[in-house]
Amino acid sequence: MPLTGTRDLSSIAQSTPLLTSLDTEPWELKGAKHLQLHFELGGDRQALLPPALHPSIPPTLLINVTAVPDSEVGAFTLATVRVGCRAGARPRGLLVRGYCDSTSATKLLRERWGFPVDLAEVCFDAGYASASANVTSNNETILDGDLIDPQPITGADVQYMASLNLARTNWEGNEEAILLQVDPDYTFEHAQRGRPRLNSFKEIEWGLPGASATHPISASLTTVDITLPSLRYLIHPNREPLAAVERLPEQ
Amino acid sequence: MKFGVFFEISVPRPWGPETEYNVYQNCLEQARLADELGFDQAWAVEHHFLEEYSHCSAPEIFLTAIAMQTKQIRVGHGIVTCVPELNNPIRSAERAAVLDLVSGGRLEFGTGRSATWTELGGFGANPDETKKTWDEYVRVIPKMWTQERFSHQGRAFSMPERTILPKPYQKPHPPMWVAVTSVGTEIDAAERGLGSLGLSFGGVSEMAQKISGYRKRIQSCDPVGEFVNEQVNTVSFLYCHEDDEKGIRTGQQMAGTFNYLSEQTLATRQAYPTPSYLSPGLLYQLRQESTSTPEGKVPQGLTIGDPHRVAQAVRNWEEAGVDRINFLLNVHETVPQEDVLASLRLFAREVMPQFAAADEKPAPAGAAAENHA
């Protein structure tokens, strides 16, 4: 059996969303700009993941910033940092903390998909020669990174991993930390690939103590329609991988 | 129809001081028995860093050991990763020639380019370049083997004129193959006159389509070597047991474990967006093949079950146009060694004779080559 995580997520779950319902309608976000910076992850590869997940070989760090120009709650920008891993045999990204610059979008993302996001200043600037992202919380820069040397590719070349959002729900009468699988649909309009560069990363602020980006893999910048889906699966983080996935009843 | 064995060398955790040693010794014992039983080829992969899934990072050494412990079985070096950061092409040609010499002309030479970021990233290789470097390697390596003096100015590498030594024992050179996992690679193989080393475990219908295209295209090929190697190999899991249910259950456990382990690695496509890796590759195909049938059904190309069922699966491959099946005998040591050996013996006794007549078909691998042995 491959290695599994050793982390107890319950201690950091208290600040995550408490979902009273897992019945969520899809949400289409048109014309978003999406930046992904992908690095290999240094440090103890089991320490950041719960027992339900395997570290991928090698473990990775995924930084994602999404700028939505308009939506039912207006424009917003969302930044997340995830740990690339495996739920059983499936590639996934564990998300334990993120940031959004819109109060109403933050509320909606927390309540409907369990995104463990808080309000912060999230800046995203996409130009022809580069794309950069900066997140500031409590007057401190907690993330600063960019894509450099972009070159055109097609959307067919891009593959994003589904997220596992750390949240809480009442499961069989008990409040329990869970991982909600969010696997958006993407319709690509433009795509570029470049090299990722990370200038600043405060791993504690992202709920990833000890995480470090050690080796750059790739960066991509896409213009894309994103549909956040209905919830279909959750994972019990403290169960062993083959017993951890629960399919939600059809709503 | 001919039969071979195929080694990934998967090593389960926990890794004690004897674990890798024991797995390697088990594989060598399997190869010796396969040779005694009349199997035609023993292939070994080249993989790096793929924890538990494959610890076969120096296949040329493992294959040398097989060659030294066997008499007849051919040794399949495949695939050799044709990427400069992993293998200098001169060294690949040299190592292969030595293996051919010490084995008495029993080498089959497989080529490919790796499908994982785990491996390519580990060596600092650029995934955009691997298809191009593979193409360059398969064109120059036969020349290194056959020309007395060789020089090259290319994209992947350049070298001034030298005499590359030694030369292979088989003349003009060993049969060459390409690992076919990505869509269209079978046509790449055909256009270059190379054998198709299919790696889609169990996928008969998909393979039949690929073989049809391959056979058609190779008729007008421009061979990169001195001869055309029109042969199609495929790979399947083998677990043959008198009790059909036990055979299926054990075989499916093996296949499921293989897929689970392989998915823990980082596919190039998941990490590095590039048109060079459009297909998810071998690992995805394996998962598809083992999960795409209804519960309780055995995919028609999976050689697991009792001898009757296994023979039917072989016939399915034969009808699809496959010339040889290479069997993966164990995964992650899920099957005790004595059961692996018993499965091999049962297959050789009950199944192999049913296909003996087909051995008289012309053009086995390397038939066009003049073999000294």
pLDDT (tens digit, 9 = 90+) per residue, B164-212?
A: 999 999 999 999 999 988 778 899 999 999 999 987 655 788 788 889 9
Interchain contact, B118 vs A57, CB within 8 Å: yes
Q: Is residue B370 part of a domain?
A: no
Partner-chain contact A2 B275, CB within 8 Å: no
Residue A77: HSE in the Cβ half-sphere, 13 Å Cα cutoff: 20
Using alpha carbons only, what angle is made at residue A161 by residues A155 and A162, rounded to the nearest 5 degrees?
120
- ipTM value for the complex: 0.95
User: Residue B364 pLDDT > 50, yes or no?
Assistant: no
Structure token pair of residue A72: 């039912």
Q: Which residues from chain B sit within 8 angstroms of residue A220, using beta carbons?
A: 273
Phi–psi pair at A42, nearest 5 degrees: -95, 175
pLDDT, tens digit, 9 for 90 and up, residues B20-64: 999 999 999 999 999 999 999 999 999 999 999 999 999 999 999
How many CB atoms neighbour CB A41 within 10 A?
24
User: For the domain that residue B158 is a member of, what is the CATH number?
Assistant: 3.20.20.30
Tokens 């099946």, located at residue: B325
- Cβ atoms B345, B265 nearer than 8 A: no
* Dihedral sign, Cα of residue B305, residue B308, residue B312, residue B315: positive
pLDDT grade for B278, boundaries at 50, 70 and 90: confident
Helices (H), chain A: 10-13, 103-113
Cα separation, A133 vs A128, in Å, equals 15
Beta-strand relationship, A140-153 and A130-137: antiparallel
Q: What is the CATH number of the domain that holds A217?
A: 2.40.400.10
The boundaries of the domain holding residue A171 are: 10-238
Instruction: Give yes or no for residue B292 having a pLDDT over 90.
Output: no
**Rounded CA gap, B88 and B138, in Å?**
13
Contact B118 A1 (CB under 8 A): no
Q: Phi and psi (nearest 5°) for B299?
A: -50, 140
Q: Give the closest-approach CA distance of B10 to chain A in angstroms.
A: 11
Looking at the 3D structure of chain A, how many domains does it have? Answer: 1
Per-residue tokens: A250: 């059809």
Taking residues A36-47, report their average pLDDT.
Answer: 96
Residue A243 lies in a domain: no
Q: Are B264 and A2 in contact (CB under 8 A)?
A: yes
> Is B295 a residue whose pLDDT tops 90?
no
Q: In terms of CA atoms, which chain B residue is nearest residue A53? A: B264
Confidence of residue B362 (pLDDT cuts 50, 70, 90): very low
Structural domain contains residue B257 = yes
Question: B114: distance to nearest CA of chain A, Å?
Answer: 15
Residue B299: per-residue pLDDT? 87
Helix axes B130-146, B185-192, angle to 10 degrees: 20
Q: Using beta carbons and an 8 Å cutoff, which residues of A are at the interface with B?
A: 1-3, 38, 40, 54, 56-58, 60, 84, 86, 88-91, 153-154, 156-159, 161, 191, 193, 215, 217-218, 220
Is A5 within the bounds of a domain?
A: no
Given an 8 Å threshold on Cβ–Cβ distance, is B263 in contact with A218? no
Within a domain: residue A37? yes
CA separation for the pair B307, B315 (Å, rounded):
12
Asked if residue B369 belongs to a domain, the reply is: no
Residue B124, pLDDT above cutoff 80: yes
**Residue from A34, A37, A56 to probe the interface with B (highest B Cβ count within 10 Å):** A56
Query: Does a structural domain hold residue B342?
Result: yes
Subunit contact A89:B275, Cβ cutoff 8 A: no
Q: Does residue B371 lie within any of the structural domains? A: no
- Enumerate chain B positions whose Cβ falls within 8 A of a Cβ in A: 12-13, 49-52, 117-118, 121-122, 259-261, 263-266, 269-275, 278, 287
Give the pLDDT confidence score for residue B371 in this predicted structure.
45
ω into residue B172 within 30 of 0, thus cis?
yes
Computed over every residue of chain A, the mean pLDDT equals 96
pLDDT reading at B225 higher than 80: yes
E strand segments, chain A: 18-19, 27-42, 54-68, 76-87, 90-100, 117-119, 121-126, 130-137, 140-153, 162-171, 174-182, 185-201, 212-228, 233-235, 245-247
The structure tokens listed for B12 are 């389960």
At residue B366 the predicted structure's pLDDT band, cuts being 50, 70 and 90, is very low
- B204: Cα within 13 Å, side-chain hemisphere: 17
A4 in any annotated domain: no
Among candidates B81, B50, B59, B58, which has minimal Cα distance to B6? B59
What is the arithmetic mean of pLDDT over B120-148?
98
Give the count of domains, chain B: 1
Rounded Cα gap, residues A195 and A182, in angstroms: 26
Going by pLDDT thresholds of 50, 70 and 90, the confidence category of residue B121 is very high
- For B327, the domain range is 2-360
Taking CA–CA distances from B116, the nearest residue in chain A reads A57
User: Least CA distance to B264: which residue of chain A?
Assistant: A56
Q: Is B102 left (phi over 0), alpha (psi -120 to 50) or beta?
A: alpha
In a domain, B56, yes or no: yes
pLDDT value at position B345? 98
The contacts of residue B126 (CB under 8 Å, 6+ apart) are B120
**Does any domain span residue A34?**
yes
